[in-house]
Each structure stands twice: as structure tokens, then as C-alpha cells.
Amino acid sequence: MRKKIIAANWKMYMTVTETENFYRAFAAEIPQNNRFEILIAPPATALAKLSELNARASQRIRLAAQNMFYEESGAYTGEISPTMLRELFVRYVILGHSERRQIFGESDALVARKVRAALHYKLRPILCVGETREQREAGKEKEILERQLRVALQGVESSSLESIVVAYEPIWAIGAERSAVPEQTQQLHAFIRCVLTYLSNAAVAEKIPIQYGGSVNTGNVAEFLSQPDIDGALIGRASLEARKFADIIKAANKLS
Ligand code: 13P
């Protein structure tokens, strides 16, 4: 059975004080029967506080970073290293989010270096892939996904590949009024699993969770997660309020 993961990507929202308030409200709302791994990726400034709160609450969530650099230390102004994240008990790191690619110019090759560094330092990369609206309209989404996966993962040993998570986030569905259509999304998740099989083997590809991201909310989460190759969600806006995020987790847990 693949791990099912529901993750919050807070992007550049949430101060330390807001994080504290969120955590207190949220921890009380996590259902007893929760079957999902719950991840929160706060801004880097709130990681230490979240780590401390979570340790006190017996690790009810897993911590994720939104980005990192690939070197352990050095003259890299503004960057955060894998060992700095490990020190805060961070387990996952989102890499290659479309906002990093589009706004900060991250290339597939840079994302590939980060993926290797994360694996080396025993952090689980959440590798984000996804096409733009223009690419989708031109029917190029599979070509784009295949390239993003191949460049980021080629040459990674199968034993390490088992530790990655892929997040399919069609760029046109992020921060949008409407999400993608779950049935169509399933087809692309199945395609991503085919590419992962080609890059490793079927047994490894079967173990890799593939999350969907892009306007997930309480109303649509169950439909996404009931698709056979959609193994979780990566959630932006709807994860910023404790009640809303908890409601999503509750809705997901109602699935049989
Ligand atoms: P929204 O859920 O706000 O569309 O953001 C999705 C996202 O980018 C998660 O990484």
C-alpha cells in the first residue's frame, strides 16, 4: 500500500504567531482515525516553532520545507541547507514548485541537483511537476511531465527513488477558481507512474506517492483521492485556516 499524504504548502503566508495559533487549533481537530500522513510546509521562519510545538504534541504532523539549496554550507546568501532542515526535524522538502520555477527561474537541472542533495541528506523530496495552460492547450502536457521527471530523476538509484513523492500540479489549476477534473487528472497520474516505471521499475513506481495540487478544497478532495493513482493532495489556500485544513482531512478520512 502506498503512503497517502495530505500536505499544506503555506507559501509566503503565516508568521510565527499565526503558526502557533494555527497549530493549537488544528492539532485538536485531527480525527482519531486519521489514515493520512499530514505534512505542513510553513515559511522557513516558522519551521523551528512548528517543530517545537509538534514535538510537544508527540509528532502529530510531519514537517516539510518549501525549498532548500543543494550544498551543506557555504557562501550562498539567502539559502538554507539540507542539514539545517534536518536539525529542525524536517522530513520532507518541496522541490521544483512551479512558483520557484516561474518566479525564481529554477531549471530542471537545478531541481535535479536539489533532489539528489535531499536524498543524500535523508530528506524526502516532494518533486513538483506540471504544465502551463498554453502547454496543456497545445496538447503537450505529457511531453512536459516526462521531461521534468526524467531530468530531475534520471540516474537516481531505484533504492533512493522509493523515498520520493511526486506532486502533479497543473500550473493553470493553482490559485484558480476551479481545480482540474479528477478523471482527467487520474490519467496524468497514471502516465506519471508509467514514466517512473521507465526510470526505475514497476515495483518501485508502485510505491511512489503521487499527490495532486491545484485548488483542492473540502468539496473536491474526496473525488481526487478516490482515483487509483492519486495518493494525496498538496494544498495551498485551503490549508491556511486550521478549521478548513482539518475539514479536508476529515473528508478524506471518510473515504473507504
Ligand atoms: P492552491 O491550493 O492555493 O491552488 O495552491 C496549490 C499549490 O500550489 C500547492 O503547492
pLDDT digits (tens, 9 = 90+) for 107-144: 999 999 999 999 999 999 999 999 999 999 999 999 99
> Average pLDDT, stretch 83-103?
98
How far is ligand 1, taken at its centre, from the CA of residue 205, in Å?
24
The answer to whether 99 and 11 are in contact (CB under 8 A) is yes
pLDDT band at 58 (very low <50, low <70, confident <90, very high): confident
- The C-alpha atoms of residue 238 and residue 215 are separated, in whole angstroms, by 8
How far is ligand 1, taken at its centre, from the CA of residue 169, in Å?
8
* Burial letters 34-71, b for 16+ CB under 10 A, else e: eebbbbbbbbbebbbbbbebbeeeeeebbbbbbbbbbe
> Average pLDDT, stretch 209-226?
97
Q: Is the CB of 98 under 6 A from ligand 1?
A: no
Ligand 1 atom nearest the C-alpha of 237 is 3
Set 99, 106, 141, 169: catalytic member: 169
Residue type, 41: A
> Average pLDDT, stretch 30-46?
96
Ligand 1 atom nearest the C-alpha of 176 is 4
Residue type, 104: F
- The C-alpha atoms of residue 242 and residue 90 are separated, in whole angstroms, by 20
> Average pLDDT, stretch 198-208?
96
Backbone angles phi, psi at 166, to 5 degrees: -110, 140
Residue 50 has pLDDT above 90, yes or no: yes
Q: Is the CB of 236 under 6 A from ligand 1?
A: yes
Protein residue whose Cα sits closest to atom 5 of ligand 1: 236
Q: Is the CB of 42 under 6 A from ligand 1?
A: no
The answer to whether 229 and 186 are in contact (CB under 8 A) is yes
Ligand 1 atom nearest the C-alpha of 174 is 4
DSSP for 102-159? Answer: HHS---HHHHHHHHHHHHHTT-EEEEEE---HHHHHTT-HHHHHHHHHHHHHTT--HH
Please tell me whether the overall predicted TM-score, pTM, comes out greater than 0.95 for this model: yes
How far is ligand 1, taken at its centre, from the CA of residue 213, in Å?
6
Q: Could you tell me which CATH number the domain at 5-253 has?
A: 3.20.20.70
How far is ligand 1, taken at its centre, from the CA of residue 234, in Å?
7
Q: Which residues contact 136 (CB under 8 A, 6 or more apart)?
A: 170, 172
Q: Is the CB of 214 under 6 A from ligand 1?
A: yes
pLDDT band at 1 (very low <50, low <70, confident <90, very high): confident
How far is ligand 1, taken at its centre, from the CA of residue 75, in Å?
32
pLDDT band at 59 (very low <50, low <70, confident <90, very high): confident
Q: Is the CB of 215 under 6 A from ligand 1?
A: yes
In angstroms, the first-to-last Cα distance of the chain is 14
pLDDT band at 60 (very low <50, low <70, confident <90, very high): confident
Residue 97 is among the residues annotated as catalytic for this protein: yes
Residue 15 has pLDDT above 80, yes or no: yes
Q: Which residues contact 76 (CB under 8 A, 6 or more apart)?
A: 69
Residue 169 is among the residues annotated as catalytic for this protein: yes
pLDDT, tens only, 152-198: 998 899 999 999 999 999 999 999 998 999 999 999 999 999 999 99
Ligand 1 atom nearest the C-alpha of 234 is 9
Which helix H or strand E contains 68, and what residues bound it?
A: none
pLDDT band at 224 (very low <50, low <70, confident <90, very high): very high
> Average pLDDT, stretch 45-71?
94
The answer to whether 115 and 81 are in contact (CB under 8 A) is no
Count the neighbouring beta carbons within 10 Å of the beta carbon of residue 132.
16
> Average pLDDT, stretch 146-150?
98
The answer to whether 149 and 189 are in contact (CB under 8 A) is no
Q: Is the CB of 169 under 6 A from ligand 1?
A: yes
Domain boundaries, the chain: 5-253
